[in-house]
Structure 1
Amino acid sequence: MAIDLDNRFECMAHCLTLCSGSEPIGLLIPSTSTVPGLPSEATVSGALSQALANVSGSLQFNVSSKNTNCDEGTALNEAFGIKDSVQSFIGPVCEKAIRSIAMMAALWNKPVVTWTPIKEDADSFPTLIATLGTYEDIARNIATLLQCQGWKTIGIIHANTEIHRQMAVTTKSVLQDDDVTVKRVLPTNMTGDSMKSTLSSIKALVRIIVVLVPEMFLETFLTAVTSEGMNDGSYVFIHWKFSPALNQSSGLSVPHPKNTLQSLLQIGPFTVSQSSYDQFTSHNSLSQPASEFYAYLYDAVILYSHFVVLNNTNPLQLHQNLQRINYTGWTGHIRFNNSFATRAYRVSHYQQGNFSVVYELSSDQCVKTPTPMEWIGAGPPQDTPKCGFTGSSCKDNDDANERGAIIAGACIGGLLSVAAFILAFYLYRKMRFEKELMGMLWKVNENEIKLRNKQAAPKQQAGPHPTKKLVRMETRGTLGFGSSCSLDKNFLFAPIGNYKGSVVAVKSLQRRSIRLTRDVLRDLKTLRELHHDNLNQFVGANLEPENCYVLTMYCPKGSLQDILENDDIKLDWMFKMSFALDLARGMEFLHKSSLRSHGNLKSSNCVIDSRWVLKLTDYGAITTHPEEPTQEVGEHEFYTGLFWTAPELLRLQKIPRKGTQKGDVYSFGIILQEIFLRTTPYYFNVVSSPKEIIMRVRNHEVPPYRPHIPDDSNVPDKAVFLMRCCWHEHSESRPDFHSIRKRLIDINSGRKINIMDNMIQMLEAYSNNLEQLVTERTEELALEKQKTDRLLYNMLPPLVAEQLKRGESVQPECYDEVSIFFSDIVGFTTIANQSEPLQVVDLLNDLYTTFDEIIARHDVYKVETIGDAYMCVSGLPRRNGKKHSGEIANMALDLLNGVTNFKIRHLPGSKLQLRIGLHTGGCAAGVVGTAMPRYCLFGDTVNMASRMESTGKALHIHISAGMNSALKDLGWGFMTMERGIIDVKGKGLQKTYWLIGKTGYSKPLPQTMISLQEKWRQSQDTGRPCSPTESHISDRDHSDSMYGRAFRKTSIAISFLHSLSRDAQNSDSRSVSELSVQDLHLSCESLKDKRPSPVTLSPVQRSQSVGESKIRPMINNLTKNRKSRPELKSKSSTDSSSDESKDSDQSNSSKETPKKFAIPKIEIS
C-alpha cells in the first residue's frame, strides 16, 4: 500500500511506502507532541504500518497523512485540502478537532474513525466511528469500582493535557450524578515537585484519589506518594491506564516500596502481558517511545477495514453495519453501541510480588475474580476516617450519650412546639373564619350603587314584594340581565349600575325577607370567594327586609336563551360546542366546590360576556323558585320553567332549593337540546301544553317522555347519545360533568373549542398569511427593483444612476484624459437596401449584442448607438489612470476579431466591414434632459475621434497622433504604423496612424491588418522606418476625389498668377487691380486640358502682395458651391508632396518667378 506523505512526515515514509492501494484515506495526526506518551506521529507510526500490513489481502489503503498540531483550525484546513481525494478520515486525536472534522465529514458523507476518547454528545455526527469509546464510559467504569468498594468521597488529580483534563471534568460530572462527593479536582505538571505539591494539598481532604496521568509518569507519581508518606494504607490511588499491558513489578524502572504499590489500583483493558506488548510496540521505528494509544490506532485501522468490507464505504449504512462487527484486538473484545465502541475493563492490584486482575468491570457492575486482594492492614481504607481527617471527631462515650440526650430532648421539644403551632394556627383560622362570617363582607351599601339611565320603572302590581328603593331602573329584559328568569314578569326589568368601578346587574328577590342563618351566611361567604372563568362573579347582596337584591357582574351579550332565540345571531358548530364546553366546565367546578350543586340550571341562567364566554349565574343559598302558579306567574310560565327539572325532583312534594348533582346533569341535557337544535325544549314534540309535558315527564312512562330529536337534525350521533345519557330516567345512570366534558371534547375530535382561542387562532393564521404575503411581495419587489436597476445601469453609468435614484442633480464633470472609440459599418446603406426593415433590426441587434459581450470584458463604457454607428469611451465615468488608451485599443482589436467571425443571418454570403477611429484627450460628461435622460460627452476630443472614424478605412483602426503617443507611453506592446499627413475637417493637416495589432495578440484579424503587420515586421527587421502608407496630399492632382478636384483648380489659378506676374513686368498699361474674374475663367478654360505640375506654395507678406484684394475673392468663388469646405493651409515646411513634385516646383519657381514679385498666400475654404 502506498502512503502519500506530507514533507513534514518524512520519518513515517519508510514504514508506509511498501504499501500501494486503491482505498484512499486521510490520516489527521500531530507530527509531534509536547507531552511524551500522548498520540502523535512520532509515537504511533509503527502501529499504522503494522495495521496496513495486516489488513485483508483483497483490500488496500492509500493513506494521505496531514499534520494537525492538535489545532482545530489546522485540522479543518488540512481536511478541506484532501476531502476530494480520500474516502474517509482517521483521526484527529483532539476533542475540538474531532468534532469539527466529524461535522464537516457528515456534510461530505465520509466516515471519520477516531481512536481517542470523545464526548457522548458526538452521537449526532452520523459518520463518526469512535473505536476507543467515550469519556462518559471511562467515568462510569470508575464509578462502578467506587460503588463496589463503597467509597463516596474522593478527589481527582489529572495531568494538564486536553485528554486528561476532559477525563477529569467528565468523571466529576458522572460521579456527582451517582451521589459521590468530589471534594477537589487538581491539575498537576509532569514533574516530581509539582506532584508532591498537589498531593500535599489534597491529602488532608480525601483518602480515595483518582489519578489521571499518562502511564509513563506513573512512576514519578508513585515516588511522590512515597515522599509524602501516603503509602501507609490510609490512601488508595485509582489510576486509569489506556495501555492494554498488565504491569509487572520487574518492568518498573525505579523500585518502589511494597506499601506504595499496594496503595495503587489500575483500570485498563489488560488483555496482554507487558512483555508481549513491548514486543508489539517495538515496531515503532521513530525516536520517541510508543504512546499508550499505540494499540488503539492499530485496532482502529483493522476495524475500519472490516467496516469497508461490510459497508462498501457507504456511510448511510454505518450504524447498521457497525452492529455486525464483532472484533477482538489488542485492546480487547470490541462491540459497538451506535457509533461508540465498548469493551470490558479490568482492575489490577499488586498481589504477591506482581500485578494481578482482581475485578472485571462494566459500566454498571463489577465482578470479583478469584484472586484475593492484599491490603495494607485489615482491609481497604475508608473514604472518610472514623475520627475525621484531623481526628477531632472522636469523643468519649459519655459525651456521645450526653449529646444523644440533648438531641432527644430537642426533638421532643420540637414536636411539642410544632403541635402547639398547629393548634394555634387552627384556632386562628377558626376565629378568622367566624370573624369573616359575622363580618358579612358580601353586604352591599346601596348608596354606593349608581344606576344607569334614570327612569321610572313600570308600576309594580299590588303584591307582597314591593321594591321601594330601587325605583329608577333601565329596562333591558333578559338581554340586559341574564341572571333573572326570562319567564318571570317581575324580573323582566333588571337594573344595571356601577358599583365600585364595576358594571353590575341588580336582581330583586321575590322574598320579603331572608333569615340570615349560619348556613346562609356560610353560603354567601362561599359565593363571594368562588372564582372561575365559567361562573358569573357574585359581587354582593342587600338582604334588608322589603328590599332584597343581589349584585352580579354584568354580561352584555345577555343569556344563552336570548342568544339562541335571536335569529340575527348566526351560530356555527364551533360556537355551539364552545357554549356546551363552557357550561360543562362551570358545572364541574361548581360540583367540586362546597356548594355541591346549582339547583336552578336552565338556559336563562347561563349568561354570555363580551368575549362570548358562557358563565353560570343564579346559584347558591338565596336562589328562589316559585312553588306553584301565582297571579304574577301564570300556569303556562310556571310549567315552562319546570322543563329543566329532573323527573325524580318533580315527584317530590317540595323541590330542594339547592337541587342535586344528578338533577343538574338532567338540566344540562335539556340545555344541550336547546343548543344543538337551537329551539326551545320539547319544540318537536306533539304535545304543546307545558303542563301536560311536565305531567308526562313526572309519570313513569315507558319509554320516558323526553324532547324529540328529528332524524334530519344534523346533530352528530355522539351528541345525541350524550343528551340521552344526561336525561336518563335513572339518575344513577347519568354521567358526571367530568365525563361529560371529556365526551364533548371527543365529539369535536379533540380540537380546541374555546371561541376566543379559535378566534385568536384565526387572527394568527390571518396575520401569518399576511406576513407571508408581505414577505413574498417584498421579495418580488426586490427582484423587480434589481431588474429595474440592471436596466437603468445599462442606460446610465451606475454612479450616475444612483445619484438620480436619490433625487440628486448630476453635476457635469471634466476628465483630463479619456480615450474615445467610434465605429461605422462601411456599405451599410447597400446592405439595408437589400434587406427588409425587420432584417435590419435583427442584423443590428445581433451585431451590437456581440459588441456588448466584447466590451463587457474591458474597462470601457458604451455611450450610445445611432443606426450603424457605435461609440464607447474608457476613463470615464470611472477613472482608470493611464490605462484608458490600452483598454479602448484592446476593445477595438477584439471588435475587429468579432466582425471577422460575424455572420449575417439573411445574407450569409456578405461580410460586414467595420471602420474604427480612436482618439485620446480631455472631455466633459454629464446627463442631458429629464425625459429619457442621456449621458453625453462634450469636447473637441469627441469631434476628433469622429473624424478619425470618418477618414479611416474599412477593417482598419485609425488613430490620432495623441492616441499613438498614449499607446507608446503605456508600453503594452501595441503595434502602430504611420499613415501619413491627411487633411481633417476642422483640424487641418494631421499626421495619423494605423493600429495594426498587439504583441502576443493571438485572435484572428482581417487580412488587411495582417498585411500591415507583415510590413511593420519587415521595417523592424531592416531597421528602417515605414514610409507613410497613404497621403491625401500626395497625388492630389491625379485624384478624382473632392480634394483632387480642389487642388487641380488651385494649380490652374496659380499658373494664371504666374502669367500675370510676367505681364506686369512687361507692360504698365493694365494694372493688376483692373483684372476681372472673367480673365481668370478664360485662363481656366485654356488650361483645363493640361495637367499642371504640383506647385509649392510659399508664404508672402501682406505688404508684398499685388492685387490681393481682387485675387482672394476670385479664388474663393472657385469652390463656393461645394457642400464640404475643407480649409487647407499650404506651407513649404509641412507639404508632403512627392520628390518629383518638389523638383518640378523648384525648377518652375527659378525660371518664372521674378525677384520682386512673390506668389501670395492662398486660403481655400
Structure 2
Amino acid sequence: MFLGLCSFSRLVLWFAAFRKLLGHHGLASYKFLWCLCLLAVMSLPRQVWTLPYKIGVVGPWACDSLFSKALPEVAARLAIERINRDPSFDLSYSFEYVILNEDCQTSRAFSSFISHHQMASGFIGPTNPGYCEAASLLGNSWDKGIFSWSCVNYELDNKNSYPTFSRILPSPIRVLVTVMKYFQWAHAGVISSDEDIWVHTANRVASALRSHGLPVGVVLTTGQDSQSIRKALQRIHQADRIRIIIMCMHSALIGGETQMHLLECAHDLKMTDGTYVFVPYDALLYSLPYKHTPYQVLRNNPKLREAYDAVLTITVESQEKTFYQAFTEAAVRGEIPEKLEFDQVSPLFGTIYNSIYFIAKAMNNAMKENGQAGAASLVQHSRNMQFYGFNQLIRTDSNGNGISEYVILDTNWKEWELHSTYTVDMETELLRFGGTPIHFPGGRPPRADAKCWFAEGKICHGGIDPAFAMMVCLTLLIALLSINGFAYFIRRRINKIQLIKGPNRILLTLEDVMFINPHFGSKRGSRASVSFQITSEVQSGRSPRLSFSSGSLTPATYENSNIAIYEGDWVWLKKLPPGDFGDVKSIKSSASDVFEMMKDLHHENINPLLGFFYDSGMFAIVTEFCSRGSLEDILTNQDVKLDWMFKSSLLLDLIKGMKYLHHREFVHGRLKSRNCVVDGRFVLKVTDYGFNDILEMLRLSEEESSVEELLWTAPELLRVPRGSRLGSFAGDVYSFAIIMQEVMVRGTPFCMMDLPAQEIINRLKKPPPVYRPVVPPEHAPPECLQLMKQCWAEAAEQRPTFDEIFNQFKTFNKGKKTNIIDSMLRMLEQYSSNLEDLIRERTEELEIEKQKTEKLLTQMLPPSVAESLKKGCTVEPESFDLVTLYFSDIVGFTTISAMSEPIEVVDLLNDLYTLFDAIIGSHDVYKVETIGDAYMVASGLPKRNGSRHAAEIANMSLDILSSVGTFKMRHMPEVPVRIRIGLHSGPVVAGVVGLTMPRYCLFGDTVNTASRMESTGLRQRHRGDILADWEKRLHKAASCAPTSGQSWVGPWPATSGDCSLPKKKSRKAVGEKQAIRSKGLQDLNLLLVRQWKSSLQFNKLFYLGKKL
C-alpha cells in the first residue's frame, strides 16, 4: 500500500511538470498528457495497485527434520511467484505468504494457532489433526478460510457447521476405507511413533474407522527402541483377527527411522509373511515418486527390502511427471535455489504448493463471479475445480473437497523400486486394475473378513442376536451399577467410622499423642539432634542406638516440638502450612483418597505413615521416628566413617524405596537427602512422600521455599510454574542423582561448583551448556558415576526408571547384598584363607540348591510329610476330627473342550488355576490336587487351625467366585467361564499313597459329600454344609455356662463335652459372665457370637444366626 501511495504521488508530480511545460498549447496537449499518465499506471507492477492476500502455511516445521525437509517457505514462494505472474488470475489481489510454526504438543499447538489470528487472511493447515475442529470453528468466527490436507473428522465436510473449511485432498480415511472395502479387510490396528502429532493422528484415524463400523483392535504408540517396538508388535499379534496395520509415522522411504525399525522388527517376528498388510499413513498426504525412482534405503538394507514386500503404499497419483522431475525442472529454470537436491526434499513440498494454488484458484473464481473474497465465498467457489498442480491433477467435487486419484504402489523383496498396481478413483470410490498384480508374501493376500462389515444397514454381531446381546448388556449394566452403588455406600460408611474411631483410625488428636522434648543437642525436636550418639558407638564397634531415661524427657506442646509418643512409640510429625482445614468431614471429602493410598504403603524402605494429626488448627503427617536422623545428618557428621560399601547400602535402600513408590504410581516430588531417614539398624527409609498431594487436596499454599531447597529439583520442573510442587517420575530420578552426588563426595548439592544457589538455579533453567555437579572419579566406581550421569540427563525421557537403576546397581555388586552387616563381615573375611572362601562358596551353592529342592518338595507335599519322607520315615495316616473341604469344577467344560484345541484347553486350565493358586495364598488353606477341571482345597489340615477352617474356606470361596467373574479365556474371550462350588465340613483321614510319585490323599465320607455338593450345585453358586458343627458347638457352649468367678477366654468349647476353662481370665469376659447370669441362655449365644465376630466375616455370622 505504501508503494502504491508513493507511485501515485509521483504521477501527480509528473502531471504538474508536464502541465507547466506544455503551458497553453491547447486541448491536444492535455490529451497527450492523459495518455502518458495512463501508460505510466499500466506499467506499474501488479503489487502496487492490487490488494494483498496473505496465506499462512501452518505446520510443525521445526518439530523434526523430516517436516522441515518439506521446505514450506520455498514451496510457498514458488507458488506465489507463479500465481502473481499468471495472467489468467484476477488482477484485484496479489498473494503473499507467511510460514507459521505449529507447536509440537497438540495442547500448545492450538493456542499458538490462536495467536496467528492477525497474521494471515487464510490458513493452509493445520497439519496436526488433533485440533482441526476447533481451528475450523475459529476460522468461521474470524471469516478466514481453513484449507487442510490432513484433517480426518468427517463432520468437517458439513458445510452448514463448518462453512469456511475445505479439503485440498480427499479425506485419508475415505481412501483407506475404499481400499479396505475392495480387499475385504475390516479388522485394523493402528500404531504410531511417540511424537505428539502422530499420536493424535493415530487416535483420530482409529475413531474415524470405528465411525464407519470397522473394528479397530488396538491403537498403540511406540518409540524407536527395539524393545518398545517389539512389545507393540506382540500386542498386535495377540489381538484378534487384525488384517491391516496402519503406521502413523514418517515413511521409511523418506527417512523415517521409526518405521524402518518397525518393519525390521516385524520381519524378525515373522509378521511380514503375508498375515498382515502394513500401510504407511503419511504417504496419503502427498505424491510419493515411483516411476523409475530407485530408493537407496531399500537397496542398502536387505532386511527392510524383504519386509517392504508386506507394505502397500497408497499415495497421490503423479500423472506425467514425478515429484522429483518437477522439482528438478523448477531448479533448472532458476525458480528454486540450485543448492537444493531433489532427493533431500520431502514430497510434502508439492502438497504445500498445490494448497496455495488451490486458494488462488478459488479466489479467482470468486472474484470473477461476484467480486467477493470472504472465507465462505472462497470455499463455495472451490467446488468443481480442476487444475494441474506441482506434478499432479487437482480436482474437487460439488462440495469443494478434493477427489484426486490415488495409486497403490507395491514392490517385492528383490526390487528397490515401486510400481503401480491399482488406481483408486475417489470420485467413484472404486479401484481400477493397473496391469501389474500385487505381490503378497506367501502368494496370497491376508484372509478377507465378512462382507457385512462394509454393507450398509447391516450389523456384524458374530452369531449373537443383537436384541439378546443388548438385553444382556443392559442387565449387566444395571447389576453393576447396583453393586457399585451398594459398595460405595458401604465404603463411605466404613471410611467415616475408620476416620476417627477404631484401631485403624486415620486422624489423631491430642488425646492420642503426647508431645515431648528430649533433652539433648542444641536443636530441640530436630532429626539432627537425636543422632548425637552415632559417632562414639560406630567407632567403638557397637550397634548404635538411643537410650533415654525417664528424666531426660519433658512434656512439650505441638507448637515447639515435632516429636511425640503415640501408643508407646516415638513418632515424628511433619507439620503442614497453616490454613483453613474446616471440620473432619471437609478434610475427608477432599483428601481421603490420598490418605488411604499413603496408609496402604508398606515397605521396609518406606517410612510408614501412622496417621494424620489434626487438632487445635494444626495438621501434621505422623510417621515413625528414626533415631539416626536423616541421610543429610549422617553425611555432614565427619566423625562417622563411611566406606563405599556403607554408601552403596544406603543408596540401594533409597533405590528400593523409590522403586516401590513408583510401582504404586506415587510421585514423591520432594526427594532430598533430608527426606531420607535412617533407623537404628542403619536402614534408610524414604519419608515426606505424598506431601505435595496433600497440599493440593487441602488447597493449601506452601510457604515460599528457599533457593537451596530447589537444588534437588529437575530443570524441566524449575522452568514450569509450580513445577517443583507437582513433581514427576523423571524428576524423582533427577533428585536421586543429586543425592548420589551428595553421598559420593559427602557434601551438599553442587558443593564443588563454588557458586551461590541462585546462580546455579539460573544456569539449570537456561541451558546450554548443561550445568551439573562435577564428581572426581576417585569418589566412586566408574559405573556408578555413569549411572549418576544417566539419571540427571537433560531430557527427561532419557533418564532410566528406578527398575532399571535397581538392576544396574545390583550388577555393580555382582548380586551381593549391600548392607552394613555384610560390610563388617567383609572386613573380617579379608583375614580368611582362600580355602575358607572356597568352602563357603560351595556351601552357599549347596544351600541354595537344597532350598530349591525343599521348596519344590513342599509345593508337592505338606511340609510335615515332606520332612518325614526326607528322613526316610514312613508317613503314618493321620485322622482329623473336623476340616472343611472345597470342590469346584468348570460348568460346561466338556462343551468348551469339544470346541477348543487341546493346547487351548491346557492354556485355559493353566490360566484359571494359576488365578486360583494366587488367591489361596492369602488364606489358611491347603491345595490338595487338581484333576482335569476339578479343583480341591482343604482347611484344617495338614496344619490344624482350630475352628477357623470354615471361615478360611468360605472367604477363599468368595474370592475365587469373585475372580471368576472377570476371567476371560484367551481363545474365546466372549464366552464367560462359570464354576460350581461345593463345601462341606467333617472328619477325614489323610495319608501318603505310593512310593513312586507319592501323593497326599484324603479319605472319608466328607470328601464324597463335598464332591457331591459340587457336582449337584448350580453355576456361580456355593453349595455346602459347613455350619452343622458350629451349631453343635454353640449348643455345647450354652450347656457349659461358666459358674461364679469363671470366664471364657479363647476358642469355642469343643464338641467332645469338655467344659474346662482356660487358666487366663479377662476383665471383658468376666463382665460378660455377669450378663450371662442376668439374661439367661439366649443372651449367652449372642455374647458368644459377638466375642467371635473378629474371627468370621459378617456374611457367615449372618447365616449362622439365621440357622440357630
- When normalised by structure 2's length, the TM-score is 0.30
Whichever structure has more helix as a proportion of its residues is 2
If you compute each CA radius of gyration, which structure gives the higher value, 1 or 2?
A: 1
